[in-house]
């Protein structure tokens, strides 16, 4: 079952993804805490509130670290280089691609490049990253512990207002097209959360993070017990 959550999260039913048993030499590749970190991927149309939700999570949870992506666009008011994005020139961006430091990238709105780094995690921490659905698929192929969360705007009218508030006339059509494309893939995500109230949305997403960590830790503890039993045989 790929779509495990919807707008509301039922904690009592949050159980299912298994983690295969690992040999001792394979487990050595885990983090220093011997627990594989989770990558929480956030996707949503422009103006869905991804940045606001992620900032709130990082503020409230010191064990989460943001995976900062690259862009060739200019910073918006209030954005911080190295936190919201790594703002680079087109030449710098393409050099990073050639050097293998950018894992995947897109020219999302037909005007600027957006790309995500190859290196993801700070040891001992889970990561959060903003990606479109294409980037999410690439990271799911690369990394086993990936949880995808799609943030849905309150309504189509509100989505259009938010896009209009941040778009130039030149790329408005591209942003609207991209919003439609992202929404069409929403059902393939693990969770879909409607962002009609920021505080409630943050609380729902924090519950998702907590449940997925419990799932991971429980599976890891089970693997450890199985490993110990096999060693005694």
Model pLDDT for residues 204-220, shown as the tens digit of each residue: 999 999 999 999 999 88
Q: Which CATH number fits domain 11-67+120-232: 3.40.50.150, 3.40.50.620, 3.40.50.300, 3.30.70.920?
A: 3.40.50.300
Rounded to an integer, the average pLDDT of 63-91 is 92
User: pTM for the complete prediction?
Assistant: 0.74
- In which band, very low, low, confident or very high, does the pLDDT at 142 lie, cut at 50, 70 and 90? confident
Say whether pLDDT at 165 is over 80. Answer: no
Question: So what's the pLDDT on residue 157?
Answer: 80
Average pLDDT for 67-96: 92
**Average pLDDT over every residue of 173-184:** 79
Q: pLDDT for 119-130, tens place per residue?
A: 888 788 999 999
Tokens 């938010």 locate to 162
* Cα angle for residues 84, 147, 38 (degrees, 5° grid): 75
Other Cβ atoms closer than 10 A to 159: 22
3-state secondary structure 22-81: CCHHHHCCCCCCCCCCCEEEEECCCCCCHHHHHHHHHHHCCCEEECCCEECCCCCCCCCE
| Mean pLDDT (whole number) for 65-69 | 93
SS3 per-residue string spanning 161-182: HHHHHHCCHHHHHHHHHHHHHH
DSSP state of 103: E
| For residue 15, pLDDT beyond 50 | no
Q: Strands 102-106 and 114-117: what pairing?
A: antiparallel
Domain regions of the chain by residue span: 11-67+120-232
Q: Bridge partners of 105?
A: 115
């Amino acid at each position: 079952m790929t779509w495990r959550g919807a707008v509301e999260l039922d904690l009592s039913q949050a159980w299912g993804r298994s983690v295969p048993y690992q040999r001792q030499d394979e487990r050595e590749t885990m983090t220093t805490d011997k627990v594989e970190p989770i990558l929480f991927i956030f996707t949503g149309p422009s103006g869905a509130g991804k940045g606001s939700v992620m900032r709130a999570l990082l503020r409230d949870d010191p064990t989460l670290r943001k995976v900062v992506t690259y862009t060739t666009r200019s910073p918006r008011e209030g954005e911080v280089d190295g936190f919201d994005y790594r703002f680079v020139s087109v030449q710098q961006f393409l050099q990073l691609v050639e050097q293998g430091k950018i894992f995947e990238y897109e020219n999302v709105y037909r005007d600027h490049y957006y790309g995500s780094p190859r290196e993801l995690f700070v040891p001992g921490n889970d990561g959060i990253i903003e990606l479109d659905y294409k980037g999410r698929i690439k990271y799911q192929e690369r990394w086993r512990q990936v949880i995808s969360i799609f943030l849905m705007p309150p309504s189509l009218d509100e989505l259009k207002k938010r896009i209009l508030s941040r778009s130039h006339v030149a790329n408005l059509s591209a942003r609207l097209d991209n919003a439609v494309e992202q929404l069409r893939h929403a059902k393939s995500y693990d969770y879909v959360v409607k962002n009609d109230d920021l505080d409630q949305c943050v609380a729902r997403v924090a519950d998702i993070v907590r449940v997925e960590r419990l799932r991971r830790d429980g599976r890891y503890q089970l693997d450890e017990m199985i490993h110990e039993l096999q060693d005694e045989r």
